[in-house]
Structure 1
């Protein structure tokens, strides 16, 4: 795919709506198109968090493994959402699994590339943090609700 097409896709993705043109060019230098078949994992808990994904098509289950219960889905994300926040926070390891529930098309962002660009340009880094903190809070809230559902008060 041409870089202009990739830039258009990134610019049109809800997560990067309103992103400055110069920042968009920097971000797109770390981007590539990817796809995952149903049942394929985007990543596993404990692995290096070396990328994040802008979902273009399909749904992804975010899961945590619990003793005695196996995988517990705490959120399902879909088109126009982002998967993967652990790339921002040392030690840069995934804290949950992400599994494609159906064919998923996405833009994968190389985390090392983007972290280096954010370190070199703190304005870009601040822009990324402003966009990722709400995602982090949403995921924490979804996990909290799942815990309440699993371990709620007995009747």
Structure 2
């Protein structure tokens, strides 16, 4: 991902400092489930090190990885939009260290600092647009491969 799709570097220093004042350092062991689709999205993370896979359950026994996130990436965006429920699941692909943010506290901070709220909303939207484009490209690549193999 480009620097533009990283959350913290996109924030001006005063807003970054206010947000980081709410950060809590956490870690997840390899293979830990961080959250499940449909669960309450009451927090989010910025990954410091390690890798996290986002997945979608396709059957009761099978999950499909839709994205892999690494250092500097935002993990979780559902906390920003009602009904505040995760759209995907997330699992630590390796040991992970991250900054964790309480969603309600960050939303309150955004109400107090509307510049931060606007910048944060725009940056999350940019991250989502980038991830959607990446996923679209992967789907097109898979479709093209299947289509060619059928010929």
TM-score range, shorter chain: 0.7 to 0.9
SS at match of 2:38: coil
CA RMSD of aligned residues (A): 2.2
Aligned to 1:138: 130
Is residue 74–residue 142 contact of structure 1 (8 Å, CA) maintained in 2? no
CA distance in structure 2 between the partners assigned to 1:78 and 1:89 by the alignment: 23
Is residue 63–residue 73 contact of structure 1 (8 Å, CA) maintained in 2? yes
* CA shift for structure 1 position 131: 1.3
**Pairing partner for 1:57 from 49, 55, 60:** 49
- Which structure 2 segments of 5+ residues have no match? 1-5
TM-score (normalizing by structure 1): 0.81
CA distance in structure 2 between the partners assigned to 1:83 and 1:149 by the alignment: 25
**Pairing partner for 2:71 from 46, 71, 79:** 79
TM-score (normalizing by structure 2): 0.82
1:117 aligns with 2:118: no
CA distance in structure 2 between the partners assigned to 1:96 and 1:44 by the alignment: 6
Number of aligned residue pairs: give it: 142
The correspondence of residues 12-23 of structure 1 with structure 2, limited to 5 A, is 14-17=6-9, 19-23=11-15
- Which structure 1 segments of 5+ residues have no match? 1-13
